[in-house]
Amino acid sequence: MKFLKPIFFFILVFISIYGFGQCAMCKAVVESEMESGGALAKGINNGIIYLMFIPYILIGGVGYFIYRHYQKNKTSSSQ
């Protein structure tokens, strides 16, 4: 299992390098679009906000269900 750690590390590094390339491409498109009106830039910004909230909603939902389960077990064990 120790050999999987370096492989996993290199996979993450290559994925992050590819992600930086995409960000530069999106930035170039948005900058060129801002000169001609900016409707695309607003759409990309709204998409970023939308994608940002999804993980927080999922983690919050899982946390709520864990909390509710913990409280349910706490009250049933005290009786």
- Domain map (residue ranges) of the chain: 1-37, 38-79
Dihedral pair phi/psi, residue 27, rounded to 5°: -60, -45
pLDDT tens for each residue of 1-51: 566 777 777 777 776 665 555 667 777 777 787 777 777 777 877 888 888
pTM (2 decimals)? 0.48
**Distance in angstroms (rounded) separating the CA atoms of residues 46 and 40:** 10
pLDDT at residue 52 greater than cutoff 60: yes
Quote the CA–CA distance of 41 and 6 in Å, as a whole number. Answer: 39
How far is it, in rounded angstroms, from Cα 19 to Cα 42? Answer: 21
